[in-house]
Amino acid sequence: MAKEPRPIEELSIWDDAKAMLKKARAEGIQTVHDRLDRQTPHCKFCELGTTCRNCTMGPCRVSEKNPLGVCGADADVIVARNFGRFVAGGAAGHSDHGRDLIEVLEAIVEGETSDYKITEENKLRAIAGEVGIKTDGRPTMDVARDVMECFFADFGSRKKEVSFLSRVPKVRKDKWAGLKMIPRGVDREIAEMMHRTHMGCDNDAPNTMIHAARTALADGWGGSMIGTELSDVIFGVPTPKMSTANLGVIKADKVNLLVHGHNPVVSEMILAAARDPELLARAKELGATGINVAGLCCTGNELLMRQGIPMAGNHLMTELAIITGAVEAIVVDYQCIMPSLVQVSGCYHTKFIDTANKARFSGAIHFDFQPKTAMKQAREIVSIAVEAFAQRDAGRVDIPCEPVEIMTGFSNEAVTAALGGSLDPLVQAIAAGDIRGAVGIVGCNNPKIKQDSLNVKLAEELIKKDILVLVTGCVTTAAGKAGLLVPDAIEKAGPGLKKVCGALGIPPVLHYGSCVDNARILQLCAALANALNVDISDLPVGASSPEWYSEKAAAIGLYAVASGIYTHLGHPPNILGSETVTNLAVSGLEDLVGATFFIEGDMVKAADMFDERIKTKRKALGLSE
């Protein structure tokens, strides 16, 4: 018997989401929430992490009654192996994205493309210096070639450590060296994780977990950091600017083209092509007043940070954006793109266009997007969107709200510039206790949780306590829609944060970018630790992913912890079937890396936990609580 669907009121905190969920039900369109209802209750073994499918002597499910798999693996080994592979999946996603940026740099260096350029010579030279490449008096292209070679080599197995470990405080690196946790090469750590978890290899759960941490560090300080830094070099370093968010950014009188996924390589070209006079003229001929490019998820974040495009929504808004009936095309690259978007698009005139061979969707229009032909392909894609405008059914259009204002563009370079050229004023504000600490809230939506209820609540609770919040990924749109990403939001902050942010004219919640841009937060923590001559784990900082769902979020959480950052998750990963692994995650790691995970579903309590932690760290630094 079919289950009753959950009431719409329980699915999201947002009016725009609820309006579109009603429309979906009225029009008979299935969403992620309907499918979750059909998938629950989930398999208990899988939830606990005690299922193993790593060979065909199994699959095995272990329990108290049946504690060993066919090969003899116990729950600890099985849970650790599953978690290790989960993290490797996330690290692979971020890092392969990073590699794609190196390939664009290669196309620039080899003269194969004129559509992409080195926009930030100074940044290119600065990072070259950081990874030990000579820059003095050398032509930019020579430096760029060496940077490209260096970063390609970071993915291999010939290095002792990935290049950006030059940013890590020495005490932290020594700690990693002692634990055999130094990330040597991005692909190497991911491949080794697959090897270790083959039947008959690493059968010691803590040892597997240490390698999981090394794999995650290869993501944070390797693949993701390369992705962020080269995106800045090619597309520009983000600077503060205003934009807008929610489904109201979709415009009834315009051709609406949504960009979705993670990588700016395709979407930056789409945005440029949407300004092409010929395409604009054609849009006008068909009765539109212009071409509107709006963002979803992290591709949206990338373009929001650098170009200020409006944000239509985060993960759980992606189906709902199409349900407005006013989207001519959705153009995707990879990651977090629900395959259901093809079906939802099919219910309207919406064209679903994929652009990467590694992320193809049956039923999509496919473009094999290449740096050489990028602009030409982008024009073709935008043209498909423009022509689709003629097929729009005005009777089915419902754009449920007006957009809200948000401020974006907080790169470390922009923050340093706003502070007058160095991080010293930030260090002083922390020392004075005006800013008591900082927490990065990152990651996703998960249909098991009322959309954005935790993301917003935690941010609100923390700023009240004079804790600066940095947001990335899908938490961005949540914070934006809640009115936390504008300077006026200081009214919701504690007195210290209000004073500092008020003087600088910035919000108490800063948009720090996409999910790979969590590397910016790592870099900031390392810079603060170096400035104070302490370890990252000595800083009054934390990280959180309240509504996470993805393998990538697990990789981010683990590299944060392994870097010494106390990290909150709103719900546990599938590890509870092993006491050894669970205890290691929530307490044992403290002795090893100076930080742990903590799991808490109540955001008032989570904020209190951060508060306690920050008090302890401030005291140890000789500061007021």
Known binding-site residue numbers for [4Fe-4S] cluster: 43, 52, 55, 60, 71
How many Cβ atoms from other residues are within 10 Å of residue 352's Cβ?
22
Residue with tokens 């050894």: 580
CB of 552 to ligand SF4, least distance (A): 25
Rule CB under 6 A: is residue 341 a binding residue for ligand XCC? no
Find the part of the chain contacting ligand XCC (CB under 6 A) among 162-170, 196-204, 548-556, 575-583: 548-556
Angle at which helix 277-285 crosses helix 374-388, to 10 degrees, equals 10
Comparing CB distances to ligand XCC, the nearer of 456 and 529 is: 456
Rule CB under 6 A: is residue 557 a binding residue for ligand XCC? no
Rule CB under 6 A: is residue 321 a binding residue for ligand XCC? no
List the single partner that 399 binds among ligand SF4, ligand XCC, none, CB under 5 to 8 Å by kind. Answer: none
Residue 223's nearest CA partner among 159, 152, 158, 133 is 152
Comparing CB distances to ligand XCC, the nearer of 115 and 319 is: 319
Provide the binding-site residues for ligand SF4, judged by CB under 6 A: 52-55, 57-60, 69-71, 73, 78, 199
Cβ contacts of 105 within 8 Å, gap of 6 or more:
144, 147, 148, 151, 230, 233, 234
Rule CB under 6 A: is residue 98 a binding residue for ligand XCC? no
Residue with tokens 């920050």: 614
CA distance 13 to 8: 10
CA distance 106 to 137: 21
Backbone conformation region of residue 111, classed left if phi is above 0, alpha if psi is from -120 to 50, else beta: left
Maximal C-alpha separation, the chain: 74
Query: Which residues lie across from 426 on neighbouring strands?
Result: none
Whether residue 447 has a cis bond before it, omega within 30° of 0: no
List the single partner that 473 binds among ligand SF4, ligand XCC, none, CB under 5 to 8 Å by kind. Answer: ligand XCC
Give residue 623's identity as a one-letter amino acid code. L
Rule CB under 6 A: is residue 444 a binding residue for ligand XCC? yes
CA distance 485 to 406: 5
List the single partner that 320 binds among ligand XCC, ligand SF4, none, CB under 5 to 8 Å by kind. Answer: none
CB of 58 to ligand SF4, least distance (A): 2
Comparing CB distances to ligand SF4, the nearer of 78 and 593 is: 78
Q: Are 49 and 78 in contact (CB under 8 A)?
A: yes
Find the part of the chain contacting ligand XCC (CB under 6 A) among 50-58, 532-540, 547-555, 563-571: 547-555
- Residue-level length of the chain: 625
List the single partner that 70 binds among ligand XCC, ligand SF4, none, CB under 5 to 8 Å by kind. Answer: ligand SF4
Q: Are 274 and 293 in contact (CB under 8 A)?
A: yes
List the single partner that 315 binds among ligand XCC, ligand SF4, none, CB under 5 to 8 Å by kind. Answer: ligand XCC
Find the part of the chain contacting ligand XCC (CB under 6 A) among 173-181, 387-395, 546-554, 586-594: 546-554
Residues placed in the known binding site: 43, 52, 55, 60, 71, 262, 298, 336, 444, 474, 515
**497 to 516, contacts with ligand XCC by CB under 6 A?**
515
CA distance 247 to 434: 36
Rule CB under 6 A: is residue 336 a binding residue for ligand XCC? yes
Query: Which residues lie across from 539 on neighbouring strands?
Result: none
Rule CB under 6 A: is residue 473 a binding residue for ligand XCC? yes
Instruction: Report the run of H or E that residue 496 belongs to, with start and end.
Output: helix 495-504
CB of 335 to ligand XCC, least distance (A): 6
Rule CB under 6 A: is residue 337 a binding residue for ligand XCC? no
Comparing CB distances to ligand SF4, the nearer of 35 and 53 is: 53
Interacting residue with ligand XCC among 78, 101, 265, 297 (CB under 6 A): 297
Find the part of the chain contacting ligand XCC (CB under 6 A) among 52-60, 107-115, 217-225, 545-553: 545-553
Q: Are 314 and 445 in contact (CB under 8 A)?
A: yes
Residue with tokens 């289950």: 3
Comparing CB distances to ligand SF4, the nearer of 305 and 581 is: 581
List the single partner that 298 binds among ligand XCC, ligand SF4, none, CB under 5 to 8 Å by kind. Answer: ligand XCC
Comparing CB distances to ligand SF4, the nearer of 59 and 363 is: 59
For 85-143, what is the HEC assignment? HHHHHHHHHHHHHHHHHHHHHHHHHCCCCCCCCCCCHHHHHHHHHHCCCCCCCCCHHHH
Rule CB under 6 A: is residue 443 a binding residue for ligand XCC? yes
Rule CB under 6 A: is residue 315 a binding residue for ligand XCC? yes
Rule CB under 6 A: is residue 494 a binding residue for ligand XCC? no
Rule CB under 6 A: is residue 552 a binding residue for ligand XCC? yes
CB of 93 to ligand XCC, least distance (A): 8
Comparing CB distances to ligand SF4, the nearer of 73 and 329 is: 73
Comparing CB distances to ligand SF4, the nearer of 74 and 142 is: 74
List the single partner that 195 binds among ligand XCC, ligand SF4, none, CB under 5 to 8 Å by kind. Answer: none
Comparing CB distances to ligand XCC, the nearer of 333 and 535 is: 333
Residue with tokens 């008090």: 615
The full DSSP string for 25-53 is HHHT---HHHHHHHHPSPPHHHHHT-EE-
Cβ contacts of 124 within 8 Å, gap of 6 or more:
118, 140, 143, 144, 147, 233
Q: Are 571 and 448 in contact (CB under 8 A)?
A: yes
DSSP 587: I
CB of 586 to ligand SF4, least distance (A): 25
Residue 567's nearest CA partner among 525, 621, 504, 508 is 525
Residues placed in the known binding site for [Ni-4Fe-4S] cluster: 262, 298, 336, 444, 474, 515
Comparing CB distances to ligand XCC, the nearer of 226 and 529 is: 226
Rule CB under 6 A: is residue 271 a binding residue for ligand XCC? no
Burial of 591 (0-12, 13-18, 19+ CB in 10 A): exposed
347 phi, psi to nearest 5 deg: -80, -10
List the single partner that 245 binds among ligand SF4, ligand XCC, none, CB under 5 to 8 Å by kind. Answer: none
Rule CB under 6 A: is residue 474 a binding residue for ligand XCC? yes
The count of residues interacting with ligand XCC (CB under 6 A) is 14
- Measured at the CA of 319, the angle between CA 313 and CA 324, to 5 degrees, comes to 80
List the single partner that 252 binds among ligand SF4, ligand XCC, none, CB under 5 to 8 Å by kind. Answer: none
Residue 291's nearest CA partner among 263, 270, 311, 306 is 270
Interacting residue with ligand XCC among 131, 259, 298, 484 (CB under 6 A): 298
Comparing CB distances to ligand SF4, the nearer of 57 and 141 is: 57
Interface residues with ligand XCC (CB under 6 A)?
A: 262, 297-298, 314-315, 336, 443-444, 473-474, 515, 550, 552-553
